[in-house]
A and B are shown apart, each in its own frame.
Chain A
């Protein structure tokens, strides 16, 4: 826990503030002292839990029994489900009809059109690589699912965003919901949709939509709200109707945010489409999932590489569309692009090579597995002096994870609530503190106190490692342009990769267990932490630095006395992001032996024991909410002064 408070304590808060923090802590201590006689026991008291297993099981049974008969399912969810299946199927059939030459041509030409020839070449190479790895078909399945999900997400997101952007009241209602959805781990969304739709493509698509639509909605609303008021006033002064104002001014003015929203939605959709393999999405994610469950690293890698390629290509192309540079000379027009695509598809059909030719595939699974076997034999343990990777993992588990978990479980439950309250209140407001405490208490009430603390211990360990590495690297990058330039491309790629693929290398390196889950979480969260730290430090007011330098401060003094305190907000944001991202992957780590909540969800899905899964899912939501609120810096401090 201590690591979380470090940035807050390091800052040189003015005396008043510090006093305020002390006051808050004293108040909390007082409350506890009064309540202490009522509180006893270590783990969450049994009489305070509410068992939801019974009602949830009967609800899920009812749904399963009535899925084919009840009008709600027949006439509402049934239609949705059919529409989704139809849409995905239609896209998939279209992609197959184009064949690999057609799809590659289409992808490259679209990339050319919106982002220029270099990305066009990159796109073509990426598609060909997918084929060469023998993954053409699953790639198309994933793509079909994504196209349907992204279209739906964009529709839903834009509609919500328009509502929020045009009506302040709706905005106030929507924003906290969207903000919260943004911090929840992907896994939490799986079970509710499965409950209604059952395992399969509709559930996967809908989970993806729910996960991917919020960024579109947020950014649409942000863009609409951020329009220059004088421009809008000018438009109104010319007598524009409301519709005209929306279509000719507000939406075009929000173009940048809309495209950024599209980019984020696509990236989130890919991430979720892969994770949704555990609820029947099929495609690349499924290949990775199947391979990982048998610890077949070679197969997992063969399916993981196309995922990474897709992610990078999609991110770059949509990112370039949003950049200002996109207004350069257009090289090709849409009709031309479509004509070339059609020609490529036709030629492939005539030549009979619509499907990726078998002989052209490179089987990388076997050599990779040989390499992994060699690693298992030579690097896992017993390497002189440094030990082996499995040894490290074991040591990490024994010396770090176990003590933290045992410590958390040893602490009396009310003292944990107290710590949560204190942290959230000191860093944020009493509102965030209240939400955090309630979320934490809800975990206890749900009866999953112990496994949640296990998950929490992994999160804390991973966050500690992430912050140490992230702050160190971030400071280095902020102080040296060379380091930053070297890091940037690496961070760019790492930040675009879906969470799921991080599991592949850690399983190869460390086997399965809690330590690999933590390692994957660290690697996943690190880029964001580094980036935010670097930006925060670099944005410190140059005048403040200048004056420190003019007073003869050394580089170290400048860092500790000026840069870090002034970058407090950015550092807190880095902590917050780090916590949210770590949690997402620690949960997924349940698939590779991370245990606890993530495992419960996976187990519930695999065994059809939806009640267990749903309770774990709810606990994940509460944990995510708690961790986010505990690390959420005060947004603004208006009110009394202003």
Chain B
């Protein structure tokens, strides 16, 4: 709980002084003939997708992307279909070989790893959950979950025992001996999740894990992931094209378009101050009062205001603030550890709901991109 954090977050802020788990900078992935020339040549790199394709026959799926994934956070990468999300996440463990840029995991250069090191990375440090599950149809649930351990050479009895624990943890008790074909989509993805968890990885990578599921099951699974994250605090990189999913799960969100990250920030920043029209259009239908917090909406308290009125935490959502203000009829105070940070009244709250750009609250609020 560092008080120095300038970025407001809904959840307990993660320590930023700790080294990031993944550190990506200047990452490119270009598909096509002689892909290296595209990142190397600034002129080519500046072309848009259609021009690049016409000029070189290449597709730049990821262009010059940089970000850090901090320990313990859920880092969401969001974007429309074809924006390069899957490619990006596969580059992290080199399931797809990046064209240019650097990737480091815990400070270790991933691109410099030899085959053995890389295998070690995939076996122990980063495990992935796939959109269409990627389960082995000829194995039982238990053996699918134990598969990662089998690859590592763990003995049969031990791996089965560990797999059974994980199966119970994801709520699949009693189905250990079924085959994937006998499970529903949601259950299959639980198996996929369990398989990734079984190897006890440092980071979990999710590639649109729930988009093949129907809405109710999807919500269940999101809750499941949120619960796991709360219990274990495991670092997660989560790919999705669903904005509400991103807002629900993400500590920070990178919004991608045509291979580039157009904005990177907390859900609140993305919704509250979109970086450009594209992002604005993207978040237009989001119920802003449920994402933005009192901390963003507040204005400095004038004399006397800091003493009375209902109290809110800085992380209370605007809709909670509206409720408090409507009930009492007076401005509400935003209190943090007994200190009054500011107040919210009708004007601010209505401004948030109406989408009038919010004036920056107290304190600097820089997007990490701009840092």
Contact = CB atoms under 8 A, between A and B. Distances in A.
B137 interface: yes
Contacts of B148: 238-239
A237 B206 CA distance: 12
Contacts of A54: none
B54 interface: no
A323 to B, nearest CB: 14
Contact of A238 (B131, B133, B138, B147): B147
B132 A230 contact: yes
A530 B310 CA distance: 83
Given A231-B135, A248-B147, A252-B138, A238 B122 contact: yes
A233 interface: yes
Contacts of A248: 136, 147, 150-151
A386 interface: no
**Which has the most chain A C-beta neighbours within 10 Å: B124, B130, B134?**
B134
A446 interface: no
A57 B292 CA distance: 93
A234 B130 contact: yes
A398 interface: no
Contacts of A252: 136, 138
Interface in B117-144: 118-124, 127-128, 130-138
B151 A234 contact: no
B128 A237 contact: yes
A235 B147 CA distance: 9
B131 A230 contact: yes
Nearest to A242: B115
Interface string A530-550: 000000000000000000000
A237 B123 CA distance: 8
Interface in B201-258: 205
Given A237-B122, A238-B123, A244 B135 contact: no
B119 A234 contact: no
A187 to B, nearest CB: 41
Given A236-B95, A238-B123, A249 B136 contact: yes
Contacts of B90: 233
Contact of A253 (B119, B124, B128, B138): B138
A236 B148 CA distance: 10
Contact of B134 (A230, A239, A255): A230
B93 interface: yes
Given A230-B134, A248-B136, A249-B136, A237 B127 contact: yes
Contact of B122 (A228, A236, A253): A236
Contacts of A368: none
B148 to A, nearest CB: 4
A151 interface: no
Interface in A224-280: 228, 230-231, 233-241, 244, 248-249, 252-253, 255
Contacts of B271: none
B199 interface: yes
Nearest to B131: A230
A577 to B, nearest CB: 31
B138 A237 contact: no
B93 A237 contact: yes
A642 to B, nearest CB: 13
A241 B132 CA distance: 22
Contacts of A237: 93, 95, 122, 127-128, 130, 205
A233 B134 CA distance: 8
Contacts of A235: 134, 136, 147, 151
Nearest to A241: B119
A524 B195 CA distance: 52
A448 to B, nearest CB: 49
Main secondary structure of the interface of A (DSSP, over half): helix
B152 interface: yes
A234 B136 CA distance: 9
A231 B127 contact: no
B152 A234 contact: no
Interface string A501-527: 000000000000000000000000000
Nearest to B149: A238
Contacts of A228: 132, 134
Contacts of A240: 151
B152 A239 contact: yes
Contacts of B192: 234
A289 to B, nearest CB: 44
Interface string A204-235: 00000000000000000000000010110111
B151 A231 contact: no
Contacts of A236: 95, 122
Interface string B146-161: 0110111000000000
Given A230-B134, A244-B151, A238 B95 contact: no
A252 B140 CA distance: 13
B212 to A, nearest CB: 11
Nearest to B120: A239
A239 B123 contact: yes
A244 B132 CA distance: 22
Contacts of B130: 230, 233-234, 237
Contacts of B151: 235, 238-241, 244, 248
Nearest to A238: B148
Contacts of B152: 239
A614 B244 CA distance: 74
B11 to A, nearest CB: 28
Contacts of B138: 252-253, 255
A314 B241 CA distance: 52
Contact of A233 (B95, B120, B150): B95
Nearest to A232: B134
Nearest to A236: B95
Interface in A433-488: none
A529 B124 CA distance: 55
Interface in B321-341: none
A132 to B, nearest CB: 42
26 contacts: A228-B132, A230-B130, A230-B131, A230-B134, A231-B136, A231-B137, A233-B95, A233-B134, A234-B128, A234-B133, A234-B195, A235-B134, A235-B147, A237-B127, A237-B130, A237-B205, A238-B123, A238-B151, A238-B195, A239-B118, A239-B119, A239-B148, A244-B151, A248-B147, A252-B136, A253-B137
Interface of A: 228, 230-231, 233-241, 244, 248-249, 252-253, 255
Given A239-B151, A241-B119, A253-B136, 18 more contacts: A230-B132, A233-B95, A234-B128, A234-B135, A234-B195, A236-B95, A236-B122, A237-B93, A237-B128, A237-B205, A238-B123, A238-B148, A238-B151, A239-B152, A240-B151, A248-B151, A252-B136, A253-B137
5 closest residue pairs by CB, A with B: A234-B134, A239-B123, A239-B122, A237-B128, A238-B148
